Structure 1
Amino acid sequence: MPRIESTAARLAKLGFADGARAAQLLDRTPADLDDLLEFLVAVADPDLALVSLTRLAEREPAVLTAVREDERLRARLFAVLGVSAALGEHLVRHPGQTALLAEPELGGARAALLRAVGAEPGEPEPRAGDPDPLVALRVAYRGRLMHLAARDLTGQATLPEVMAELSDLAGAALEAALAIARAEVDDSEARLAVIGMGKCGARELNYISDVDVIFVAEPREGADETKALRSATRLAQAMMRACTAATQEGSLWEVDAGLRPEGRSGPLVRTLASHLAYYRRWAKTWEFQALLKARPVAGDQELGESYVQAVNDLVWTAATREHFVEDVQSMRRRVESHVRAEGERQLKLGPGGLRDIEFAVQLLQLVHGRLDPLLRRRATLPALAALSRGGYVGRDDSRGLAEAYSFLRQVEHLLQLHRLRRTHLLPTDEADLRRLGRALGMQADPVGEFTARWRRHAMEARRLHEKLFYRPLLQAVARLPESEARLSTAAAAARLEALGYVDPNGALRHIAALTTGVSRRAAIQRTLLPVMLGWFADTPDPDAALLGFRQVSDKLGSTPWYLRLLRDETAVAARMARVLGTGRYATGLLMHAPDAVAMLGSDAELAVRPPESLRGEASAAVSRHAGDPETAVAAVRGLRRRELFRTAVADISGLLDIEAVGTALSSLTDVTLQSALDAALTKAPDVTRFAVIAMGRLGGMECSYASDADVMFVHSPLPGVEEREATDAAFAVANELRRLLSLPAPDPPLLIDPDLRPEGRQGPLVRTLASYRAYYARWSSPWEAQALLRARFSAGEASLGDAFTSVIDELRYPAGGLREDAIREIRRLKARMEAERLPRGADPALHTKLGPGGLSDVEWVAQLLQLCHAGEVPALRTTRTIGALRAAAAEGLLDPADERVLAEAWRFASRVRDAIMLVRGRPGDSVPAEAGERRLIARTLGYPPDGSEDFLDDYRRVTRRARQVVERVFYGG
């Protein structure tokens, strides 16, 4: 028992969820599996994989030798066992099929399944004396299903390839079942074609799904039609039984012929003429929607092709039927009402599920496909791509739907593979969610990351479904502004949609709330809104702009100057529209201080205020609240919020370049630190001088909207004061400063980050000037000298700050430059940072800070040039990256062309980071992978509505060129 307990602990540490159970399994297994555990813990569910592997090894010990010798076999087998308990059971029953996983490809499924049931492609039925063909069919089918799942789970088959192969495998099984049926039914009088419908017809089948079919038959030459149909019906029934009958190997799947004319009430088999007569006279709208997927899958291929060709003419004219669109929409609503109990967990039928996407795509196909044959695709993803190419769906919308569809289908496949059961319901059990997340490559927090991705895709799918699928009857048209009041409902809908509103219904609700009534306020709004709707439409997010406008108006609508200003100063309204439609950051700042609208009137109002002016206002606020540091700093933070809004608006309006934005934000941080320090000092004894040293982006005057304040604290005891007493007082001041700036408040906090101090988090928060001098003289490393290149005085006593910078100048600007070993150390540190600090799952090419050609690359080039040459070249003694590059180029230390390339990359990456904050309202270092968010950022950076891909291409090009310079200049390549 102690041995098992120690093994359990080791296994739990390796990554098994149930270490005790895993230890018991290993203890009962004769073979030593220790060398395979590292491979097992990498799969989606190591515990599940271990259970199946030990059972398989007990049944067939040679399997372990095979997986040790064959890397492909091992990867595929373990991937399957880590996801599918059902396929693990199948392998335990049929261990010989393990060898299938070593095969790169298995060849044609149709011929293989026919052989499995004892028939050959040229033979009509199984040979007498062969094993039970029903069992053989199931075993052979699942072997091929397992091979496909293995390639799917190891990334060797794409989602479209998997869906297509599953559909072809189902068609092969139907052909084999038809061969079995011919052994009991004489088909000499009838030709029978099996038409695949739904996902089978579209070649986008799931792992476990009902296979929808329609049967069409014709009498052979000289045969009686009635007898032929009777024979074909018996043959079809026998074929269905061959698939659905229960055996010791279970069944394949249900064959569902419910989509035939008259449904389950109609004859199972009809002639082609009978089918066409029904469709021309009696068919409902949904039946034409279903026929869009029709494809011959088994039986008489020529007859099947004739059927599809004939019904296609009816499918692509169905949209001309009266109430066609309304009928399709009503059907979708009925489907939704049937799954309300399962709610959002229904991947297929719930809101934001697969049906949302499929119905939207199919409706657009049916409406536009009559005149555009390029839209006549059976499968969802190719049809969506065709709709996008034809301009019927926006490229970003198409991409968003495709990403959501692909993700949801992958999840659906993983759910079904687990037990080989037909399910579309997302589990609630954490272990099941963890298996799903890990199977999709999520390692750090598989449950949280999976849930977040699923919700994001479902929300986007639902949003786009409602945008593309519904054309809402906007009864609020009478509440439109006066200039639109005469529009019909259809015209109102068309105008809002043409303007780019995602939610026209919601837009008219906001308009109605703003314009309802006979008050002066409502009258002015009715005058303003016709123009403002157009301005909102020109922003990245028109819906957000209108919502923000309503919220600000609700807060300020009763203020006399607000609406008058908007009415009389159109520049204010136009700029306000632009700000509200750009993103959450500036809108959030405005919500807490809506009177800041007043500064939107002119470019002069948006000019960055000089630091002296800000310091004077902040100092006055602290003085007004002397003795109450929290209230004093709250007033200063309110000032900071207003100036952040001013800077953001000037940035959005194109009045500031990225360097000016960094300078404005850094100066504002300096003022905030000084004011908070003044407030903190009121509670400290007057025993020491105190200064705040700016570091990092603050030191370089390169702050972004998301930047913390990287600082160090230095103090110097006053004459006659014990150093211990002075240090305690300085420590109290530093902590009070940090507390005051991080107190909960409606204004953005300013977080203080002192981690660049000597010894980092392990070192003292505050040191004396003498202590800094001693440390840097004895202990400093090259990275600290590099960090000090950005050090400058920020707040406190200026003379102490100057003394500090004098102490560090010798270290950061070494006479004679750096030794070769120090240069090698810096290059090694940079290479290590590139390898280790990039967040898990991040695309390096799109990471603005740590990616190739990003901010870090450019900054390290500038800093290496400074460390090597600033001791002899005073022009390099600057804390600013772009300033250092300019000086290096001017002094002949850097090729001017290289300087331009590096500066362009630094500015672009900095602008992207700021744009991410402006759009999201929260920081981010990576260009978003999600298409909708990337589009908003591209628009904020000045790209046109369809310029998201151009933005991405530009970013990759600029950073790629910068990286080439880094390789040559920094690494000496």
Structure 2
Amino acid sequence: MNETVMKRLSDVADGVIRPFNQTELKSALSLLKDAGKQQPALAALLAGESPLKSFVAAALSLSPYLRDMALLDPATLVRALDEPLEPLLKGFVADARDAWRGEEGGPPATEAQVMTRLRAAKRKLSFLTALADLARIFDARDTTRWLSEMADACVAAAIDHLLLAGEQSGKLKLANPQAPALGSGLIVLGMGKLGACELNYSSDIDLVVFFETDAGILVSPEDATETYGRMMRRLVRILQDRTGDGYVFRTDLRLRPDPGATPLAVPVEAALLYYESRGQNWERAAFIKARPVAGDLKAGEGFLRELVPFVFRKYLDYAAIADIHSIKRQIHVHKGHGAIAVKGHNVKLGRGGIREIEFFAQTQQLIAGGRMPELRLRPTEAALQALTAANWIDATTRDELIEAYWFLRDVEHRIQMVRDEQTHLLPETESELRRIAFMAGFADTGSFSARLESVLKTVEKRYARLFEQEEVLSSASGNLVFTGQKGDPDTLRTLESLGFERPEDISRVIRTWHYGRYRATQSVEARERLTELTPQLLMTFGESRRADEALLRFDNFLAGLPAGIQLFSLLTSNPALLDLIVSIMSSAPRLAEIIARRPHVFDGMLDPGLMVELPTRDYLARRLSSFVGGSRHYEEILDRLRIFAAEQRFLIGIRLLTGSIGGVLAGHAFTDLAGLIIEHALKAVIAEVEAVHGKVAGGRVALAGMGKLGSFELTAGSDVDLILLYEHDDDAGESDGAKPLDPVRYYTRLTQRLIAALSAPTGEGVLYEVDMRLRPSGNKGPVATRLKAFEKYQFEEAWTWEHMALTRARLIAGDAELMDATRAVIAAVLAKPREEAKTASDVAEMRTMIDKEKRPKGIWDLKLIPGGLIDIEFIAQYLALIAKGHGVKAEVNGLSTADALKRLGGELMDPNDLDLCLAALHLLTELSQVIQLCVDGGFDPATAPAGLVDLVCRAGDAPDLKSLEAELRRLTKAVRKVFQAVVK
């Protein structure tokens, strides 16, 4: 038998790795001892001393992940102790490949069974592969091959299961249910490392899915996109959802054509047309490694043959060279491309890393592969060998890069084996770096670091020889002179080359700065700092789209700044802060106006922890308490609240603008901030009213947040919907203060004071616009309502839409007992029996009325468009009203719309419709948050700042606006169908 096949873990050499430390070693031995009570073979191993015992204990001391696997499944470890490894691994791969099959003579496996089987097979193979790798019985080539084989098997099994399920549901008609993928026309390509059979230890897998429309397996061909789209969403769930058994592979489908505008599975004809007409240079590079891994493998090979002219161009013309340099620049500016180091270095994306070796090979494959088919190889080592054979590189370069490639892959595997994390970063600490060094077989971090640095520098040297050095723009590229009354001609040319369209206007603005006409530039020191900063400032603004507009907004900011020395010094030493200011000025006119009008909000941006600390309720509460603490007078408290609210709204917005938080988290933060501010304002108002009018016997209030305030979905520009409820002793008379009032007038006055405190314009601005139309009887009713009256109204007079609004009610401030009583009333109202057909009719009628009275202004009217936010909110509210009648727990108060949908829709909606609504809600939320943050009056692509267009595309995870609008139309159209199906 083949010698490799017969390799066993027991063949491990003595001292191949060292234990992390004595504490971890003892822990590993203790774990093995406990497992040995159930596994005699382990007990026998522990009874003596051997290289195998030393190795296993050392491996488990070095990797918490492997230790957990050994504890979870000691039987697999026992099998590996003396059985040949490769037959074992082949068995695991076979188990995964057959996971879709049922028991002998029985029905096919259920989805839950498939998920469990795949996770078990992947876990066992990963465990034994890691041990064999650490033992040096396998090298990195073996490890990547086995991981790739397992991924192939898992994807293929999941696809077979989904195809068979499609037939069982009546959507598909398969040629052969015993071989579901055969002749199906469903093409699943593995990309990147999966396609090259080079998967790393904790890699995700990149898949691209296409289908042949004429394959004949669709019962309703017109539903192809929807049918296959649902299938792919299930595929992702099967592979990457974490269950009690773990996960299989994180799965990414974003390498498909134009992912922001196309479905998860793309028709072959459409894909070929896209690549022929609009394919990008990075897609050419990606398809070098593409390989059919599941589905109809024959159709997949045919598709790749059709793509050859796109990937490997027949002629090496200037456009092709420009394309290749474009790829180089894209990778060169990647965030991971830092200086060579060891601690914290990114072995994949950093200088001298794996990506440079891969790109070294791929670039030359793209250049010459059209004329030399022998260069069209997927694996990196094979490509380097072929390039040498074709005399594109010499043998020394080939050998150096191959050796470096597998060494770095080894290091990458060890980084990932520690905790099964998808990371490529070496540890920052000496202790954790020692762990990696020991796993790689080195005696200490010094020898490991020396070897790694040598490898990285070798790769960097070879890579640099292949590509010319990029020119870096600097102030030396032209004059920047801002003296005199007119613009210097050379300076104007420099400004134009930097990206400004109106260089004379820009020159005039900067001369204004240097003349000291603003308070921020009046001191000599401030002007000196600004002069030093100006070249970098102009370069950074010049790189933004519509650079002139952005710089003029910055000028407006400077004009209102009380002092400039600190700011200019910070910007000089902190380029990231400068980038942030440019981002605001170029993409967010609303934020730019805020800091120009109230420069003090900028102070919070100087906090080094701004982007690190999340704006949670606890975080905001601590900050607010320290800021307001010590304020005694009513107006002083309110002014402090206004300052704090303005600054924190701005800082939450900055986090959203920079991408450090997303739209959902921003909505929660804006809401938490509003809740805290309103709570403090209510306390101040109550104290102020009591000081003048005294107290009502037994009097107490509770404040309910409604709408987006109730569901944690406020945006930067939201008003707040409130209902104030009160109670008092039944025999209470007038209040006991100097100016007594009867209870109705007392709580009316208190509510009016609260509205004024929140919404009155002052020198420090407005806290929140207040809307109280959701109170009983709306604007016709009293501004404050006694709880008893509220309860009677809700049970006897309220319309369905008022009960819909109640599903988002959340008590945010006031007397604890009254808040509890109010919650009980709301729960009772929402739980009362109701006629489902009548409720559905009322909800549909309400939506129709909104359609007529508030017509959407276009696709970007995200709230009002058919299938937009209102439709999704109405679905959730309708389900909350009918849930009790279906025996479903209906308590959704205090939940976001998404969480309410998850709680209710899981039982009351089709799972695919629920997924669709959640996906649409996520997209609409992300877009709404960014748009509300950056502009007033809605988003108009024709007039929006270019930077905002980029931000909106980023928020929608789309390459361009056209793609994003297509995705919006697709999702909202589908949501409207779901709305009509649910509310019927």
What TM-score do you get using the length of structure 1 for normalisation?
0.46
What TM-score do you get using the length of structure 2 for normalisation?
0.46
Q: Which has the larger radius of gyration?
A: 1
